[in-house]
Amino acid sequence: MSADDVMDAIAKQEWLEAAGDKIQPAIINTFKAGGEAGQKIKNFLHGTWLGHPLHPIITDVPVGSWTAAFVLDAMELAGNKKYKAGADAAIAIGLFGAAGAAVSGMTDWSGTTKKKRAIGLMHGLLNISATAIYATSYYLRKKEGSRTTAIGLAMVGYGITSASAYLGGHLVYAEQVGVDHTAISVEYPKEFVAVLPEAELTENSMKRGQAGEISVLLAKKNGEIFALANTCSHLGGPLCDGDLLDDCSVRCPWHHSVFSLKDGSVIDGPATEPQPKFETRINNGQIEVRLIKNDKQ
């Protein structure tokens, strides 16, 4: 059975879909119930403020700490008792990190669908299991006569953590969760290129234009024409099918990230990366765009 077969099998699990149907709205509604503060916390956990997802940074703490604990435990089993305290401390640090990774991970997961959601939920369940096992291991380490059992449990936990980390990697590298969907191999236009007849873009409306292989969102607000990459940086949603908001921003139709039309910056997550922004001009009745110099070139 190949790794892809395993991922497909996970995606087909009906119980994961049923659980996702219950858990996902609960997370979304919890943030909504918090009003503006809830939205700020949600954006913080996504990493919108960082311009990068927060979750993969935090996951380094439990994975790194528990890897250290695995090595130190192995040395203890080999007869080097002086590594006991180090192993216990590494497990405790990993438990703190796992709590942060769980909260940020659940927040990111709340914006996923279908196969990504099923694999993400399995990833989360494995992490919860591993964390519970490590917590038990930590407790037993403090009890007289349970050291070998505690170490054995930690090693089981490490196996589960490794399997879960593999699923996390698959979500990023194969399913492109947390990847900037505007960072593509095709070049954004550096010279002005016509994308739409000016007459087709009316006040307070949005249209999709095409600059070679690049889909461009065009919006007209207060007589001014704005242009961003149409493909949402979060998971590739079509911004032109979203909502044009009064504060000169656009809301993605898929997971409701909001981007400023003025500079492409993220106003609201789950997106963490800004949208490439184009300069616009009218030439011979055509709207023309070119990329404003930025790191997408």
- Give the integer Cα–Cα distance in Å for 45 and 105: 8
**Beta-carbon count within 10 A of 80 CB:** 11
How many residues at the interface with ligand FES, by CB under 6 A?
12
Are 134 and 95 within 8 A, CB to CB? yes
The SS3 of residue 34 is coil
Residue 216 in contact with ligand FES, rule: CB under 6 A: no
Query: Shortest approach of ligand FES to residue 148 CB, angstroms?
Result: 48
Q: Which of 46, 116, 170, 234 binds ligand FES (CB under 6 A)?
A: 234
Residue 235 in contact with ligand FES, rule: CB under 6 A: yes
Q: Which is nearer to ligand FES, 73 or 268 (CB)?
A: 268
Query: Shortest approach of ligand FES to residue 1 CB, angstroms?
Result: 31
Residue 116 in contact with ligand FES, rule: CB under 6 A: no
- Give the integer Cα–Cα distance in Å for 7 and 185: 26
Query: Shortest approach of ligand FES to residue 271 CB, angstroms?
Result: 5
Q: Which is nearer to ligand FES, 43 or 257 (CB)?
A: 257
Are 281 and 266 within 8 A, CB to CB? no
Angle at 174 between CA 58 and CA 11, to 5 degrees: 95
- Give the integer Cα–Cα distance in Å for 96 and 133: 14
Residue 271 in contact with ligand FES, rule: CB under 6 A: yes
Q: Which of 46, 141, 220, 255 binds ligand FES (CB under 6 A)?
A: 255
Residue 68 in contact with ligand FES, rule: CB under 6 A: no
Ordered strands of the 286-291 beta sheet = 193-197, 286-291, 277-283, 224-229, 214-221, 205-211
Q: Which is nearer to ligand FES, 268 or 288 (CB)?
A: 268
Residue 158 in contact with ligand FES, rule: CB under 6 A: no
